[in-house]
Structure 1
Amino acid sequence: MKKVIFGLSLLVVGITQAQNFSGRPPTPNDTLVSAKVLPDSRMRFSIYAPKATDVTVGGDFLDSPTPAKLIKQENGVWSITLGPLAPNLYTYDFTVDGIKTFDPKNAQFKEGLNGLSNLAEIPGTATNYLTVKNVPHGVVEAVWYPSSSLGITRRMHIYTPPGYETMTNKLPVLYLLHGGGDNDASWMTAGRANFILDNLLAEGKIKPMLVVMPAGHTPQPGLHMGAGPEQDPFCQDFLGSVIPFVEKHYRVSTNRNDRAIAGLSMGGIQTLNIGLWNPEKFGYVLPLSTGYFPPVLKELDEKNQSVLKNPEINRLKLFWLAMGGPKDIAYQNNKNMMAIFDKYGIKYQYTEVPCGHTFLTWRDNLHAFTPLLFR
């Protein structure tokens, strides 16, 4: 018995030494759960910041853009419990003494243009469509390609459906553009695009497709929210390098009706500038949570009438506009834009999801429109 006790004592000492091999004393941060889902669908946010004087948390789980203030405990942990929250995948950011602070205790994150934001999921039947399930999964690759118009090598993300390696037929392509402040990884992280498509494929609701997510920001300055592709270096890169690269290196169809373009916010304007100026290249154009600003609409109406009168626009198989309801920051711009489309007899479909200008809306949009493609 003494030998057993002695052995256990050595084991405990060994574990303790391993945990503290750096020589530092343990802290509450060692076992902290920073974003904890409680049984009643409330969320407890916590961060260890013993020397801080002000800590807040913001994200699309809040109804207001004003972040929530955390309360400091004696052990140096700041916490707040919010909700109950509707089941969904939410972004959140801590701010510690005025500095946006990434949560290193949470491995789920969204990559953006200027940094990282964390993700936290509250499970539920309402978001079953974006859950990681035991179904065949596609492959997501970070692909580097040469941009002839920009003179640099650029990155995009490409999703190939499960079984692509053994397919012999040419697939349709959805080009999926991100918004301002995001990057080519955002649709895969906060957007959960690959899991949404995996689940729809497993349910037999969509056709296998390639999804190409390029980087909408460029080092070359331009007017991303202007009218027409000539003002935006990304549009030149997209038409001159992205599409040709994809069609050279992947088994995809070059038929216009096997090509769709969709994008949110800034990416929605880019979708319009590419799709409306080149409707013969696409069968489906789907701008989300977007709309031209009034001066640009005036320019569109006065200087681009030939574009708006192009009969090829009404030969699109689907021109689908979606908004995040009245609290979407682009809501009025979109209404103004639709009035211009009505003036020129442009046919479109319109839908709303009352979740505002966030991925809460855009994930739902993706789930709704992909079954409409390539039919």
Structure 2
Amino acid sequence: MKMRYFLIGLQFLLSGINFLNAQEKAFSTEGWWEPEGEKFSPVVHEDRSITFRLNAPQADNVTLLFGEWDIVEKKMKKDDLGNWSINLKNVESGIYQYNFLINNSFKKLDPVNPNIKVGTNIYGSIVEVPDTPARFDQLQEVPHGEVHIITYRSIVLDKTRKMYVYVPKIYQELKDVKFPVLYLRHGGGDNEGSWINDGRANIILDNLISQGKSKPMLIVMSNGLIDGSWSSGSTIEGMNTLEEELINDIIPLIENRYHVSKNKKDRAIAGLSMGGGQSVVIGLRNPNLFSFVGDFSAGLLSDPDIDLSTYIPDLFKMADSINQNIDLLWISCGSKDPRFLGHKKFHSILNKHGIKNEFHQGSYGHEWQFWRSQLKDFSKQIFIK
């Protein structure tokens, strides 16, 4: 018993000594002002090569998984400090996703790179290789608009939701002008912020507007999921709910809060993947509300087992009505995307039934590189008729 009390007393004594030592050690800012060393990872060099590094001393092997669709796998080399590295040469300018694969089984983000692709999941780290002159989706020295995050009440869903709204710089200067609006929808694995964070919609429009290649417009980006699951926005019930939310909650809110046009000639709807299907369904079901409809890689339009008449009754009997009311029906898909052949078939069916549309493609898969370029090209063609 005496030994027990002795040990307890010794513990308190040591704790007191440690406390006093901590009190005697003064706070210091020493080292704060030293210049920052070389970035650890990723390092983009002037010759458009990229060095990737990962500190993983316990790993047996590490592989770089580079790309979003055509993923390149490269084995990395380990140094004496446990740092794995690789240098990719001759990388074309663009924005790329990557991950590290550890021991052929565990996928890992780059822990020292805060730039990530995120939606309903965290997908990977992001690195950009800039171009000269700057690309259409690259930050340039032009007047920059604003991105507003609006919290609103969705009556049909009985919940509070968020939407992002891009407002061009010139909007603040032309207070008597009623601006057009593009309602831009995201994909099944994304959220209402994805067109800004991954799609760079604000940067693309800033550049286009400053070059006179696009009419100044607001872009409204709301959440296209019902219950958080990636497929909830593509069901018949989900489409009906989202259509009601858009018409009864979102459009009135935008038209009351901003000086925008209420004329259908100044409304467009477009989206990628799941959002592309939503845009075609909602847009063609409401030709009294929208004059421009855009689809970028929608799975709904390319699956032969899906009967579109359950979403749009009498679609192929509506040729005259669609042609009279929709100024542009834009259908697009990357040629490396499994949805490509289905899109070409859908385009042919529309032509067969006399429904005017444009088909666009590019050498891409189901990826942001393609969707950014589609937003650029689509934005140049709307609100000009």
Instruction: State yes or no: 1:84 paired with 2:101.
Output: no
Deviations 1:233-271 (A, max 9, x none): 333322332222212222111111100111111111111
Contact 1:61 1:91 in 2 (8 A): yes
Alpha-carbon distance in structure 1 between the residues aligned to 2:158 and 2:309: 33
Contact 2:69 2:366 in 1 (8 A): no
Q: Which amino acid aligns with 2:82?
A: G
Counterpart of 1:339? 348
Q: Secondary structure of 1:242's match?
A: helix
Instruction: State yes or no: 1:109 paired with 2:119.
Output: no
Q: Which amino acid aligns with 1:150?
A: L
Alpha-carbon distance in structure 2 between the residues aligned to 1:180 and 1:62: 16
Q: Which amino acid aligns with 1:359?
A: W
Deviations 1:143-182 (A, max 9, x none): 1111011100111111000032342211100111111211
Deviations 1:17-71 (A, max 9, x none): x69xxxxxxxxxx85521122333222221222233443333436634x644433
Counterpart of 1:284? 292
Q: Which amino acid aligns with 1:90?
A: Y
The verdict on how the C-alpha distance between 1:170 and 1:96 changes in structure 2, with shifts beyond 3 A counting, is farther
Alpha-carbon distance in structure 2 between the residues aligned to 1:84 and 1:170: 46
Counterpart of 1:189? 197
Q: Secondary structure of 1:213's match?
A: strand
Please, which runs of 5 or more residues in structure 2 have no aligned partner? 1-27
Q: What TM-score, normalized by structure 2, do the two folds share?
A: 0.82
Q: Cα distance, 1:14 vs. partner?
A: 6.6
Alpha-carbon distance in structure 2 between the residues aligned to 1:181 and 1:230: 15
Q: Which amino acid aligns with 1:52?
A: A
Cα RMSD, aligned residues only: 2.8
Q: What pairs with 1:194-209 in structure 2 (closer than 5 Å)?
A: 194-209=202-217
Q: Which amino acid aligns with 2:93?
A: P
Counterpart of 1:159? 166
Counterpart of 1:70? 76
Q: Which amino acid aligns with 2:345?
A: N
Instruction: State yes or no: 1:319 paired with 2:329.
Output: yes
Alpha-carbon distance in structure 1 between the residues aligned to 2:55 and 2:210: 42
The verdict on how the C-alpha distance between 1:207 and 1:49 changes in structure 2, with shifts beyond 3 A counting, is same
Q: Which amino acid aligns with 1:280?
A: N
Please, which runs of 5 or more residues in structure 1 have no aligned partner? 1-12, 20-29
Matched length: 349
Contact 1:56 1:69 in 2 (8 A): yes
Q: Cα distance, 1:231 vs. partner?
A: 4.6
Q: What TM-score, normalized by structure 1, do the two folds share?
A: 0.84
Q: Which amino acid aligns with 2:88?
A: L
Contact 2:332 2:343 in 1 (8 A): no
Alpha-carbon distance in structure 2 between the residues aligned to 1:301 and 1:157: 32
The verdict on how the C-alpha distance between 1:302 and 1:151 changes in structure 2, with shifts beyond 3 A counting, is closer
Q: Cα distance, 1:212 vs. partner?
A: 0.7
The verdict on how the C-alpha distance between 1:62 and 1:234 changes in structure 2, with shifts beyond 3 A counting, is closer
Q: Comparing 302-311 with 137-146, which one deviates more in the overlay?
A: 302-311
Contact 1:171 1:210 in 2 (8 A): yes
Q: What pairs with 1:259-274 in structure 2 (closer than 5 Å)?
A: 259-274=267-282
Alpha-carbon distance in structure 1 between the residues aligned to 2:225 and 2:310: 28
Instruction: State yes or no: 1:224 paired with 2:233.
Output: yes
- Given the alignment, which residue of 339, 348, 358 partners 1:349? 358
- Given the alignment, which residue of 122, 125, 134 partners 1:118? 125
Q: Secondary structure of 1:179's match?
A: coil
Identical-pair percentage = 36
The verdict on how the C-alpha distance between 1:210 and 1:62 changes in structure 2, with shifts beyond 3 A counting, is closer
Alpha-carbon distance in structure 2 between the residues aligned to 1:163 and 1:302: 42
Alpha-carbon distance in structure 1 between the residues aligned to 2:198 and 2:347: 28
Q: Which amino acid aligns with 1:103?
A: D
Contact 1:220 1:233 in 2 (8 A): no
Considering only CA atoms, is the larger Rg found in Structure 1 or Structure 2? 2
Counterpart of 2:16? none
The verdict on how the C-alpha distance between 1:269 and 1:138 changes in structure 2, with shifts beyond 3 A counting, is same
The verdict on how the C-alpha distance between 1:53 and 1:183 changes in structure 2, with shifts beyond 3 A counting, is farther
